[in-house]
Chains A and B, each alone.
Chain A
Amino acid sequence: MNGELLVFAAASAVAIVSALAMLFQKTPVRSVLSLVVTFFALAVLSVLLAAPFIAALQVIVYAGAILVLFLFVIMLLNLTQEAAEKETRVVHRFLSVMGVLALGGILVGVTWKAGNPPVPITTSPNAIPVLGVDGEIPLLGRLLFTDYLLPFEALSVLLLLAVVGALLLSKRRFE
């Protein structure tokens, strides 16, 4: 048994246990904290997969920003106990089941596909396969602005739309 496997086992165990704790926790604040621990364990797994950049982004964006906002809202509304009522509307139930099924389908598909040898991204002419002291980060930047330029820009526009939408909603409420 080598050290890498040991860290993998520990991080996976922490991720699974904290994810379950997130679901079954009575206090919303504790649920958010369990999710932070989950994200941290996932970051450790990313480091094990030799992707420290993804790990750092995972912690900065999810654990450090999005979940802090979750906490902010929960604390602002002071949801000390499980204030949210049980979801009773049939449409909502149907949609959540569909969402879970779709996600499960994607997971199964990806896992099945991973069995076949994947096409390495470094075959692109834009990828210079030199891993120096900076690791995969220059490669990532280069690929984002060449091969994956369209998806990258499309995602940025999507985020911008979300920002504009949020602004519009908050404006309308106060006027």
Chain B
Amino acid sequence: MDPLLFDALAAIAKILFVWAVVLAALLPNLVLLERRGAALIQDRPGPNRVGPFGLFQALADVVKMFMKEDMVPLYADRLLYNLAPLITMIPALTTFAVIPFGSSIPVTIGGVTHIIPLVIADVNVGILYVFALTSLGVYGLVLAGWSSNDKFSLMGGIRSSAQIISYELAMGIAAIGVFLAAGSLRLPAVVAYQHHGTFLGFLPHWNCFPQLIGCVIFVVSAFAETNRLPFDLAEAEAELVAGFHTEYSAFKFGMFFMGEYANMVAASALIVTLYFGGWSLPGLALTGLWGGLASIAIFAVKTFFFIWLFIWVRWTLPRFRYDQLMAIGWKVFLPLSLLNLLWTGWLVLASGGRV
């Protein structure tokens, strides 16, 4: 088989796999997980009537979204109003292109064995691609807020634009530490760097241990970037009705909803890749077909833990006040992320390039 054609087919297969998992399997059921998780934390049963354990609740929710009346407010900027939900969804779904979701899988065709690395595109700008896309995601929120022509929506949009820029800065500087240690911007290189060896002799060689501050900043900033509680100031139903999506109904509202969860999955996958060893586990080689499949499972379990963390935190912590949010972003996280960078630089220097 022509190697170019083979690469193209492999890439298409990987894209289909990732989107099938995220869009079809994960997103609808995350809504159910969130509702059941909220119920668990608030000590009530939650939606458990549709199907066994309420498993078909997701289906019922989707049908409800489709059947509702699709309203467009008078005096709304129709083009931008319709475009905004799409702008929220697309960056979240394209982020997965550079995240390695497993080691590699050997495929034998006509006696020749090809090793397929389980990452859709191993581009050399790696993480910068992710930051470029997530920084575009904010337009969805801002435009939804502005085009609805409603004061609450506008407030939500304004809030999200300032919030996301502030937290992107701390997040980016925290992430630099990871690439300083790994010596590459490529995410597969970051995972490979964390795969072997130990930290202090007994801990896994994961970035979250030497760069604890950076890790905490990155995780907290991820909450702010995905607009999840305690940082969902753009939505803030206690103050702004429903914030930027007050005027949205039916499936356009559903797309914001899905976009939030897609962003959450992407952020969890990124946290796992950067700080928690990605698809690797210390002491496991993870090669061959079974190794490749096991690595996907390991990645899925780790990512799922952080998705659960998102839900857990949402139903546990109260919302920040807006000035507190800005103060903690600029006055605490930014200096701390610089400190983390300095510390990592020192570590790299002291260990001669290998932390």
Contact = CB atoms under 8 A, between A and B. Distances in A.
B154 A72 contact: no
Contact of B157 (A63, A75, A137): A75
A76 B154 CA distance: 9
B161 A71 contact: yes
A65 interface: yes
Contact of B123 (A33, A52, A72): A52
Contacts of B128: 53, 56-57, 60
A71 B142 contact: yes
Please classify the interface of chain A as helix (H, G, I), strand (E, B), loop, or mixed, using the class held by over half of its residues: helix
A63 B168 CA distance: 13
Contacts, number: 92
A104 interface: no
B186 A134 contact: yes
Interface of B: 77, 80, 122-125, 128-129, 131-136, 138-139, 142-143, 145-146, 154, 157-158, 161-162, 164-165, 168, 184-186, 189
Given A64-B168, A68-B161, A56 B136 contact: no
Given A56-B129, A60-B128, A75-B154, A133 B164 contact: no
B123 A63 contact: no
Contacts of A134: 124, 184-186, 189
A29 interface: yes
Contacts of A55: 125, 132
B124 A64 contact: no
B326 to A, nearest CB: 13
Given A65-B168, A71-B142, A134-B185, A59 B132 contact: yes
B302 to A, nearest CB: 25
Contacts of A135: 124-125
